[in-house]
Each structure stands twice: as C-alpha cells, then as structure tokens.
Amino acid sequence: MAGHKVLTNALDQLKLASEKLGLDKSIYEILKEPKRSILVSVTIKNDDKTIGVFQGIRVQHWDVKGPFKGGIRFHPNVSLDEVTALAMWMTWKCAIVNLPYGGAKGGICCDPKKMSTTELERLTRRYTSLIVDYLGPHRDIPAPDLYTNEQTMAWIMDTYSQLKGYSVPESVTGKPIEIGGSEGRKCATANSVALCTREAAKILKLKLKNATIAIQGFGNVGYNAATVMHQIGCKIVAISDSSGGILCPNGINPERLYLHKVQTGSVQNFDNCTNITNEDLLASNCDILIPAAMENQITEKNADTIKAKIVSEGANGPTAPKADKILFEKGVYLIPDILANSGGVTVSYFEWVQNLTRTHWRLEEVNSKLETRIVETFHEVERLSKKEKSDMRTSALMLGVGRVANAINTRGLWP
C-alpha cells in the first residue's frame, strides 16, 4: 500500500510537469509507463540449510538519453510500485543534472538486518545472475541504495565479470576504490545536499554558522550529511533512525553518535539528549530540516507542523504533492530530492567515466567537478522557479521532464 502511494505521488508530479510544459498527451502516456519491469524469484540456501525465496525487481524507466542508471535496495517493503516510482524519479534526476543516463531502480524484498553476510552475498549474486542479460556498462549500471553498500556493488561487479569472462569495473558504480571505485562517492549524496542547502541559505540570507539542523535518517546519507554540516559550523539539534530519534538543543557530535549507534543499535538514549519520535523530529524547532530516510514522510497531515526555513531532501520522495503545496504557501524553501540528492548519481557518472577510460581522479578533482555541476544546476532550477512563480520541485520537474520529452521527440519512435 505504501508503494502504491509513492507511485501515485510520482505520477501526480509527472502530470503537473506535463501540464505546465504543455506536453503532447502521447509523450505523457509514454513517460508514465516504464520501458521494462523485471520480476525474478531469488532463491538461496540459508545458513541453516533451509531455502529462502525472495522477490527481486528491476525497473528500467526510460533510456532515451543514455543507459539506465539507478540503485538497488534491500528492504522488507520493496514493491513493484515503489521501485517504479523511484526509477521514474531517477530519469528526471539524471536529466536535471545533464547526465547521459535514463532512470532505473532495483530491489529485493528482504530484511537485511536479519541476514548474515554470507546470505546477503548469495542473495546479491543470485539476483545479479537472474537479471544479467539486462545489465551492462552501456545498458544498465546499478549503484548502492537503501541497505546496500560498496560491498554489495563489489559482489555485483564480480558476478557480472565472472559471467562475461573478464573484469568489467564499469558495470556498476559505488564500488570500493581498490576495484575501480571513485574518490568521494560515499559522501557524494550528502555533499550535494549540503551544497544545495548552502546556496538556499545565501538566497534566504541565513547564516550557516550555528544554524540549527534536524536530520531524519542516520544511514549513509543522514550520517554523512550530519558530518558535513557539522564541519561547516552548523548545530545538529535532532537526529533519528528507524527506531526513533533524539533531541539535543546544545548540539550533537555525529561521529560520537555513530559510535553510540554501532554499540547500541539505535541513536536513542544518547548522552544529554531527549528521546523523541520521528514525527517529533519533523516538527522540531530548527532552521534546516533534512529528510534522509524513507519516502512519503512529510504529508498533508504533518506539513503544517514543519518549522524549518529550508527543507533539503536527502531521501527520495519524502514529501507528498499536497504537502509541497502547504510548505510553499508557508514560505518554506524546499529543495527537492531530484536536485538535492543528485550528487550520488553525479559522482557515479564520474566513476563510470573513469572506469571506461581506465583513469582515476583525485578527490579534489571529483569534489570540484561535483560542486560546479550541482551549483550550476541549483541556480538553473532557481531561475526557472522565479520565472514560473512556482516551488522548486515543480521547476526541477519541468526541467527534467522537458529534457526527456525533447529527447523522445528528437529521436522519434522506431519502427
């Protein structure tokens, strides 16, 4: 049911952008359906000798601008509707930052927290083998997502390479550096969230030094966003994970909190902090809110409780369309996911280029290229927003959907 709601949100956004752009109805009909949806039954031997059967999904939305690109997630709530919505958002995201990719997404419906490393490896390799005919460096290039990481990508790359008979590092991105990964990839999504937040703060004349920040989610994006914002002088006053959250008006040290979570399994019960719920976190007193957890967290039911001046979306699809309208009318400056968190796919593109050319860029070069692209794209979306007198999400969608629609019209349909 949650996945269906997420897909409804994505389709509503596509319809809004299509109407604002005045697109031909046939283009809208093309874009609202993915080019290909792959469902597989992933069967593995568990450590206790029983057989586990899991549903695997890969949705390839549209590749009119280049090969499919998108993450693979492991989560109990993975569904076809959810993955379809995420693949659609990836199409717009790649187009917004002018990457030669189309959008895709994948996932396996499982609970990785209850699985051993060996079980996860067997699951990953089996899934890869089942969809390998639809993958490849010029066809579909996976990357990490929710509860997957660079180790997962190493398994996918190795499985793909073993089946091809030679090493193909450019078949995935988000790999460990020692097998072709890029400098700066792990923090790339958080860095783009921080860069966009910085540019929005300039527009609002909000000083980031001692600005208060609440972050929902303490995975890769949430932790790294907290670290980056803390390093530039912001005060992290609230953080949450799937078990709940903490509030600390005096500020939270992200590295100390990370060690606490590793030891206890939760951010809660941290020194000198008050335990709160995820709902409390969203409504907390802060200058900047970074939703970096799951989809559909800010809805028409709680949007009016948001007190932040800036909402910078680290997660995919955390805000429902009706909530967008409420936040815009309240004067909240919302930086949409397809812009704010596009650093991940941007540095994935850099990694792919390095692999194709068998080169390796220094961290400074990667971060410089990332900053240039993200800042330019932010202000392109901002200018369109001012011109259209719309919120940032609508203008970002117009930019992304418009570029994909133009590519379809230019290439035409064969036969």
Joined together, the tokens standing for residue 92 give 């717009």
Q: List the catalytic residue out of 65, 93, 105, 235.
A: 105
Does 105 qualify as catalytic in the annotation? yes
Nearest Cα neighbor of 214 from 161, 277, 133, 264 is 277
Three-state SS sequence of 269-302: CCCCCEEECHHHHHCCCCCEEEECCCCCCECCCC
Tokens 């997962």 belong to residue: 152
Nearest Cα neighbor of 212 from 190, 233, 234, 196 is 234
Facing residues of 291 across strands?
216
Phi, psi of 109 (to 5 degrees): -80, 100
- How far is C-alpha 196 from the geometric centre of its chain's CA atoms? 15
Joined together, the tokens standing for residue 313 give 């979306």
CA distance 369 to 229: 20
CA distance 399 to 394: 9
17 CB-contact burial (10 Å; exposed 0-12 / middle 13-18 / buried 19+): buried
Beta-strand relationship, 310-312 and 333-335 = parallel
CA distance 302 to 57: 31
Using DSSP's 3-state secondary structure scheme, residue 176 falls into coil
- How far is C-alpha 261 from the geometric centre of its chain's CA atoms? 22
299 CB-contact burial (10 Å; exposed 0-12 / middle 13-18 / buried 19+): middle
Catalytic residue IDs: 105
